[in-house]
Chains A and B, each alone.
Chain A
Amino acid sequence: MKLNKNLAVSETGFIFNPTSGDSFTANEIGTEIINLMKESKSIADIKTALLDKYDVEGNQLEKDVDDFMVLLRDNNLIQYER
């Protein structure tokens, strides 16, 4: 699974995909995950980092990040490696 490399991400959560021309808005933690993915961090590492930083239960975060990955996939922002 990898993020489309040429995504443009602003500090305020505005995201532009130059390949498709689509633009998106993400909340703070969504933007943070995308930035960490751009740095090629693994999903497991991202989850650990978020768990340290935010006041959230492990199960809740696990469920929410998995769901976020589905959103990224549905919007053609990530590709699964075969």
Chain B
Amino acid sequence: MEKLKYERPFIKKLNAGLMNKFGTRTEYTPHTHIDGVAVKELVAKYGSPVFVISEKQIRRNYQNAVRAFKTRYPKVQFAWSYKTNYINAVCNVFHQEGSWAEVVSGFEYQKAKGNGVPGNKIIFNGPDKTVADLELAINDGAMIHIDHFDELYELQELLTRLNKKARVAIRVNMDTGIYPMWDRFGFNYESGQAWNAITKIMASDNLELTGLHCHIGTFMLSTAAYGVAAAKLSDLAMNIKSRFGKIIQYLDLGGGFPSANTLKGSYLPGADIVPSIDEFAEVITSTLLNYGYKQDELPLLILETGRALIDDAGYLLGSVLATKRLSDGRRATIMDFGVNILFTAFWYDHKISPAQEFTHHTEDMVLYGPLCMNIDVVRESISLPLLNKGDQVVVHKVGAYNMTQWMQFIQMRPNVVMIDVNGNPHLIRNKETIDTLHDMEVLPDYLKKFEL
């Protein structure tokens, strides 16, 4: 006689009157395939855990964002935010779609150049640009966005020494009515610091002020703040024109659009409260169009959107290592991925689905990662089916920041796979091995031997 399918025995007390009005969220709909490729196959071929990126979803997100802005404003350019995900295959999907590169360090700059982005289509942001970085950027004709006065003076000295000119913008920070106000980057608008920097640049023979840049925050849930930002940058641009007769070529509104992830502590799921790209586009473009620019002097609108274009294109597949019961009776499930590779677990309550069929029975549990460290918690509380050792899960919306902020800590970084638009998986980053670690270490001779 064929044996019946097994499920762990389970009993749950029924509580009345304790639900929130939206009901409890349970994730028992299995997510068995990604872009037509079976999760089981991906794990069998590339191991567990493994990051999987959908090229189709990246292109869909990008084209949607471009449509949202270009149907409202005549001159729009996106620049891919390298720090969000700088795996070359990912960057090149964006570059194929027409995106420029936005980098915040020397090595990101090298990556963009290495990918074939022309220097004049690289935006160089951030507070840390070495003299060598700046020299490279000057020679390539890159857009250098100045972050502080020390950098402004250093750049001027360098240009004098090289007898060259550079295209620059300043990063402007400002009060847009949101908290926290990001005033650590760039020059402040309200205090007059930004105008001071502008007048210094305008007085310089070596610096050509081509743009104005701001980046007002991250995971912004308020569209109105972008309207304020666009208005304040426009105010500067208009003043530059009236005072110096100089037409600013571009306004770079930076990034900060949210993805549909659910922030920790949020009462409603992210997908229900996050404004769409269209809503941001409407506020930004209508502010610019109504500001009073002459038609032929409208600045190019640059956007450095990262998270909103890549987050939902990334999945993390993982497996259950063990299940146990904690001293207070709660179920604990230990996964083979933790905060080491899922850094965003610190910010979000990630949606996690089982990768195989279960019955409708679910239990509340804590989801732990594999690290022997108490901080390694993937979800403090989640309702999932009766998972057993070896079962697989799919973590959703992990495309942004995880593959750049991941740690090689206790465990090595895993494989990253991209599924192309035709449904074929490609390995785009190899998993690390013990050699990855050893290659960088140097053991002095006198420490090579010991007796125990």
Contacts and interface: CB of A to CB of B under 8 A. Distances in A.
Contacts of A25: 11-12, 14, 361
B11 A60 contact: no
Given A27-B359, A70-B325, A55 B12 contact: no
B294 interface: no
Given A60-B388, A70-B325, A26 B10 contact: yes
Contacts of A60: 6, 388-389
B3 interface: yes
B7 to A, nearest CB: 6
The residue in A24, A29, A77 that gathers the most chain B C-beta atoms within 10 A of its C-beta is: A29
Contact of A24 (B6, B14, B325): B14
Contact of A68 (B10, B13, B14, B388): B10
A19 B329 CA distance: 22
B14 A23 contact: yes
Interface of A: 15, 22-30, 32-34, 52-56, 60-61, 64-65, 67-68, 70-72, 74-75, 77
Interface of B is mostly: loop
Interface string B310-336: 000000000000000100010000000
A34 B10 CA distance: 11
Contacts of B9: 26-27, 29-30, 32-33, 64-65, 68
B442 interface: no
Q: Which one of A27, A32, A61 has the highest number of Cβ atoms from chain B below 10 Å of its Cβ?
A: A27
Contacts of A27: 7-11, 359, 361, 386
A39 to B, nearest CB: 16
Contacts of B4: 53-55
B13 to A, nearest CB: 5
A26 B11 contact: yes
B5 interface: yes
A30 B325 CA distance: 17
Interface size bracket, B side:
10 to 19
Interface of B: 3-14, 325, 329, 359, 361, 386, 388-389
A54 to B, nearest CB: 4
Nearest to A30: B9
Contacts of A26: 9-12
B145 to A, nearest CB: 57
Contact of A75 (B6, B11, B359, B389): B11
Contacts of B388: 60
A15 B6 contact: no
B329 A29 contact: no
A53 B6 CA distance: 9
Nearest to B359: A27
A68 B5 CA distance: 18
A56 B8 CA distance: 10
Residue among B6, B7, B325, B359 having the largest count of chain A Cβ atoms under 10 Å: B6
Given A27-B359, A27-B361, A27-B386, A55 B11 contact: no
A44 to B, nearest CB: 16
26 contacts: A22-B13, A22-B14, A23-B14, A24-B12, A24-B14, A25-B11, A25-B14, A26-B9, A26-B10, A26-B11, A26-B12, A27-B8, A29-B9, A32-B9, A33-B9, A54-B4, A55-B3, A55-B5, A55-B6, A61-B6, A65-B9, A67-B8, A68-B9, A70-B325, A70-B329, A74-B329
